[in-house]
Amino acid sequence: MTIVTREISVNFPSKVTFGNGCLEEIASDIQPMGLKKVLVISIAPLLPKLSKLIDRLEKGGVELFINTQIEQEPSFLDFEKLVQQYTDKDIDGVIGIGGGSVLDIAKLAAVQLKSDQKLEDLVGKNLIQNRHLKLICVPTTAGTGSEASPNAILIDPVDHQKKGIISPYLVPDLICVDPSLTCSVPPSVTAATGLDALTHCLEAYTNKFAHPFIDIYALEGVRLIAANLVNAVENGDDQEARYQVAMGSLFGGICLGPVNTAAVHALAYPLGTRFHIAHGLSNALLLPHVMAFNIPSAPKRYAELAVAMGCEKKANDTATAMAGVEKIKQIIEDCKLPSKLSDLHIPEEAIPEMADDAMKITRLLVNNPREVTLLDAVSIYQAAY
């Protein structure tokens, strides 16, 4: 694989707080921001865990508006419905506490609540003109990495495609990663979101636009998640495993801005939009098959990933890289996730349409180390079937 040498721009949050229990401490970070009216976007089951934070903020004179409407991957309509409720509230800060969908909505709300730009005009890269509200993100899964990325993904109801909005203005002012919040996440969700995070790191490291600055995060993220995800799934109270997977997920989020993902995510999107398969599970279903497809174009990179996942070196890079594919399959099996599209009753006759949809995700396919044609996409889906 020939890596394209280029200038790189990395937008880090102004402050990152990481550690078990840190959620209860971030009120002391928020209060100096001088916020008066704050929109908190979360999900109803989390509200009991937020009671101490809410109490501290309210006692500090902050008026809170709490919204728990986002329960699945959001569409443009979901977002606009939410924002309309608060346009006249003079909100000056947004706190997102939840999974990737909640965080994506919170990030966009912090932009749109005091913006003259229309949502549809923001789709693409670097089209947001400004953000006037403070933004705080707290992930409760490990995870999408949304808390550290400049990306937000929404479903367009017109064509049912996932659309990306990418801008440094979507990077929060403050993020709090509290691994203890993930302990109540069910095993299947822990597994799927963990494999999503692992995919972020894998695709960043093997990306056509990979960069040494990001390689550090990507390779360490792979090592941490591969070594700890199964333990986190099998024993949700394993604090050490939860901590390490959350760290790996954060590293994956850092990879998303300057490098981003590639064919795994592009081919996963139609599974979500057409069949409502959870994003992390969609990635897991396709990851080993895209890896096998890509290895001829980047054997050394995939071999290095295999070693990071704990595989022994083989006679050559290709053999080592293929051991990495088998390692991924084993992790998926140990996590008790489905491994075939047919396990989810996706009709085989839908493959051509899914391939057509995937080929429209050019912003990700352009990053892949090997060109993916329509016939290639069909073949990968068939291999995953």
User: What span, in angstroms and rounded, lies between the C-alpha atoms of 291 and 225?
Assistant: 17
Residues 6+ away with beta carbon under 8 Å from 294? 206, 263, 302, 368, 369, 370
Question: Rounded to an integer, what distance in angstroms lies between the CA atom of residue 361 and that of residue 46?
Answer: 33
List the structure tokens of 234.
């099998």
Q: How far is CA 267 from CA 262, 274, 326, 349, 356, in A?
A: 9, 12, 20, 16, 10
Asked whether the beta carbons of 316 and 346 are under 8 A apart, the reply is no
Cα–Cα dist 124/162, whole Å: 12
Is 330 found in the same domain as 212? yes
Task: Count CA atoms within 13 Å of residue 144 on its CB side.
Answer: 25
* Pairing label, strands 15-18, 161-166: unpaired
pTM of the full structure: 0.94
Give me the domain span that covers residue 116: 15-181
Q: What order do you get walking across the sheet with 134-139 strand by strand?
A: 15-18, 174-177, 134-139, 93-98, 37-41, 63-67
pLDDT at 299: 97
- Taking CA atoms, 98 is separated from 91, 103, 108, 306, in Å, by 20, 6, 15, 31
263 and 360 within one domain: yes
Give yes or no for a contact between 103 and 147, defined as CB atoms under 8 angstroms apart. Answer: yes
Q: How many domains does the chain have?
A: 2
Does one domain contain both 158 and 245?
A: no
Residue 199 belongs to a domain: yes
Residue 331 in any domain: the answer is: yes
In this prediction, residue 4 carries a pLDDT of: 66
End residue of a domain, out of 130, 161, 181: 181
Neighbour-count burial of 337, counting CB atoms closer than 10 A to its CB (0-12 exposed, 13-18 middle, 19+ buried): buried
- Judge if 102 and 200 occupy the same domain: no
Instruction: Give the CATH number of the domain where residue 87 resides.
Output: 3.40.50.1970
Which of these three, 181, 207, 238, is where a domain ends? 181
User: Do 128 and 191 belong to one domain?
Assistant: no
Instruction: Kindly state whether residues 140 and 51 are assigned to the same domain.
Output: yes
pLDDT at 264: 98
Q: Tokens 């409760």 belong to which residue? A: 140
**Domain assignment present for 4:** no
Give pLDDT tens digits along the chain (385 positions): 766 667 888 889 999 999 999 998 889 999 899 999 999 999 999 999 999 999 999 999 999 999 999 888 889 999 999 999 999 999 999 999 999 999 999 999 999 999 999 998 999 999 999 999 999 999 999 989 999 999 999 998 888 888 899 999 999 999 999 999 999 899 999 999 999 999 999 999 999 999 999 999 999 999 999 999 999 999 999 999 999 999 999 999 999 989 999 999 999 999 998 999 999 999 999 999 999 999 999 999 999 999 999 999 999 999 999 999 999 999 999 999 999 999 999 999 999 999 999 999 999 999 999 999 999 999 999 999 9
